[in-house]
Structure 1
């Protein structure tokens, strides 16, 4: 009897231990899936394999290269939009400078809209693009007599990435989702990694057809895509991404600090102020406009009208950075790229204390004289007119 009683007690203890362990496993999984996440948001990370690598481009941009890894463990949503975060990794043989640079980049966000993207949504988005194209055509008509506005069409064709297999034509605008779509174009080829010449590699893969008639045929039968951004927001993004570094833009940075001294800052500061940068942009753009484009401008702040010739190509799909997720979703679906491309937003490098765009915009522009903001805006007036932007909000932020 004593032996049987001891067995019962031991068996009961074992059963209790098993039940306790099982409960702990359930609780741990619940915390890992839902503990710190907002409703409708799932965070997933690439694991440590070499099939998907984020690479630096020659100008320091980072692109997501490789397949998409999705964590569908938590399928709870309130809006029908699930957000996936991809943690960028480096190759084993990456240099210390490249490894240090990657620490400054925010993580890519890939938006999945399966639950809300209906035929009605597609039709509504198509109307948005049609309205934008119509507004662009109206603006182009108003500017048709401005001889300085038109550019050599062959130079514009050279800037375009031609994707005949998918009937897609895209003109990259730096600081307006260019890295995102460079990544997508590499994904279309099945590539899992890219060399350091990130943008050059894409340019080589998607050149303009040599035959002029073939170019014209593709222009008439393909989706003609352009992604634009508020000109002043684009300049701020270029400043934060390029001027706050200490690598390949250091020569330009040092030149700006020397040529445009700012009494309000330390002359030995590592980087120019945003005020100094805008003074440089103002003078650079003055030379550019007066020379009718023969004076070079860095692609990161080169005007869209000059780079892509929107009144000569007449883009029918004009995406805005302000509505990038919805715009890209339509483009990917309309072009039949759902299984090949990702609706991603590759963020600028995080080299200051601001993570939110609105907070950064106010902080930087509130220190800039209104007069300077007006001068810079006037030099980008074509981009403002063509794409329906206004500088008024930014001028209001400035100092007197």
Structure 2
């Protein structure tokens, strides 16, 4: 007993001798470690990749099959989807971590982003650069505004116009009707790894020559060059925006150029803490996730994704360019992008891509393994 008392006395006296400055610093150290733990928990991949072949649509009536292109070369497919129960629980836990208080004040933007099909009691939050054209096609088919015979012949621009004209958005309903649908319909959203989606949006809107890209170059490109390039030359068309300049625009908290839905966060686009989605599909598991959603809302239709070869894509997928483009950024910018899309990583269970981790290890005194274990990326806040 005396030995125990002596030991306790020695421990107490030792604690008393700890410098006051050190005690004051402890909360700061703990605060700095929190983001590191977040990065660690988000690192380990949760998807299992394999390649599949086709996207087919089975007719409601006669069983005829036609090809349905996704319109995106970056589609990947994986094994069985994560269950709705897992997603509901995951979102509930992580929304609580983000301090969500349960309010259901839906913004006009959110209501406009959600497509509603009353016949099949389904709601889909549309996010550009995540097979959104495919899902517009599907909802036109489900809603009766397109037939199996002509669904694949409709051009993307026509799909966009038809969906805006015919498909209902949640914004057209009264508050009571909105609440009923949010509580009773099958609600789903499709997402994509944030770093890859961002690069896909940049390439699609600034590096190609289409009617859509011409608009983005004029609307955003000219201003980005003017504000974020050293000694910019005048370009009336906004051509030649660099990826690093585009990222500088995104990270500028005082930017005078508005954000756009093609690179806005999933968190703001679809409010997963306010809308309790029954299922979250991923671009990385498009085949199995699409099949699952359709089994829930319209079992009579079956889809299978086409391969890139079958669709005769002449360009490479975005993931092939990840290293080339993200190498153009400073380590500080790479981490700031993570901070910007942090809620998307957390809520939708994404880890930092290996391509990004490899870039961080290239000019570092630490190995890739040490960056993964110690998350050196945190030093560049």
Same fold (TM > 0.5): yes
Q: Number of paired residues?
A: 286
Q: Does 1:232 align with 2:192?
A: no
Aligned equivalent of 1:282: 251
Task: Tell me, in whole angstroms, the C-alpha distance in 2 between the residues paired with 1:234 and 1:43.
Answer: 22
Which of 152, 161, 186 is the matching residue for 2:115? 161
Q: For residues 193-212 of structure 1, what are the alpha-carbon distances to aligned partners after superposition, in whole Å with 9 as ceiling and x for unaligned?
A: 47946435324421225232
Aligned equivalent of 2:346: 385
How many Å apart are 1:346 and its aligned residue? 11
Change (3 A) 1:106 1:233: closer
Task: Tell me, in whole angstroms, the C-alpha distance in 2 between the residues paired with 1:227 and 1:41.
Answer: 20
How many Å apart are 1:146 and its aligned residue? 8.4
Which shows bigger deviation, 178-187 or 188-197?
A: 188-197
TM-score with structure 2 setting the length: 0.63
Aligned equivalent of 2:284: 322
Residues 1-400 of structure 1 correspond to what in structure 2 (within 5 A)?
Answer: 69-70=65-66, 125=81, 128-144=83-99, 152-188=106-142, 189-191=144-146, 192=150, 193=154, 196=157, 198-204=159-165, 205-208=167-170, 209-246=172-209, 247-251=214-218, 252-261=220-229, 270-283=239-252, 286-287=253-254, 296-339=258-301, 342-344=303-305, 355-391=316-352, 393=354, 394-398=356-360
How many Å apart are 1:132 and its aligned residue? 2.4
Show structure 2 runs of 5+ residues with no match: 1-50, 57-62, 364-381
How many Å apart are 1:260 and its aligned residue? 2.1
Q: For residues 30-74 of structure 1, what are the alpha-carbon distances to aligned partners after superposition, in whole Å with 9 as ceiling and x for unaligned?
A: xxxxxxxxx985799xxxxxxxxxxxxxxxxxxxxxx9755xxxx
How many Å apart are 1:301 and its aligned residue? 0.6
Q: For residues 333-361 of structure 1, what are the alpha-carbon distances to aligned partners after superposition, in whole Å with 9 as ceiling and x for unaligned?
A: 2212543x7444798xx9x9961443211
Show structure 1 runs of 5+ residues with no match: 1-38, 45-66, 71-83, 89-104, 114-120
Equivalent position SS for 1:166: coil
Aligned alpha-carbon RMSD (Å): 4.1
Change (3 A) 1:371 1:43: closer
Change (3 A) 1:314 1:146: closer
Looking at both structures, which has the greater relative contact order when contacts are Cα pairs under 8 Å and sequence separation is at least 6? 2
How many Å apart are 1:397 and its aligned residue? 1.5
How many Å apart are 1:161 and its aligned residue? 0.5
Equivalent position SS for 2:274: helix
Tell whether the 8 Å contact from 2:52 to 2:305 is kept in structure 1 after alignment: no
Tell whether the 8 Å contact from 1:171 to 1:226 is kept in structure 2 after alignment: yes
Tell whether the 8 Å contact from 1:109 to 1:345 is kept in structure 2 after alignment: no
Tell whether the 8 Å contact from 1:162 to 1:206 is kept in structure 2 after alignment: yes
Q: For residues 237-263 of structure 1, what are the alpha-carbon distances to aligned partners after superposition, in whole Å with 9 as ceiling and x for unaligned?
A: 101111113422221223222322279
Tell whether the 8 Å contact from 1:262 to 1:276 is kept in structure 2 after alignment: no
Aligned equivalent of 1:11: none
More helix by share: 2
Tell whether the 8 Å contact from 1:108 to 1:344 is kept in structure 2 after alignment: no
Task: Tell me, in whole angstroms, the C-alpha distance in 2 between the residues paired with 1:238 and 1:346.
Answer: 21
How many Å apart are 1:145 and its aligned residue? 5.4
Task: Tell me, in whole angstroms, the C-alpha distance in 2 between the residues paired with 1:345 and 1:224.
Answer: 25
Equivalent position SS for 1:391: coil
Task: Tell me, in whole angstroms, the C-alpha distance in 1 between the residues paired with 2:195 and 2:122.
Answer: 28
Change (3 A) 1:278 1:151: farther
Change (3 A) 1:381 1:151: farther
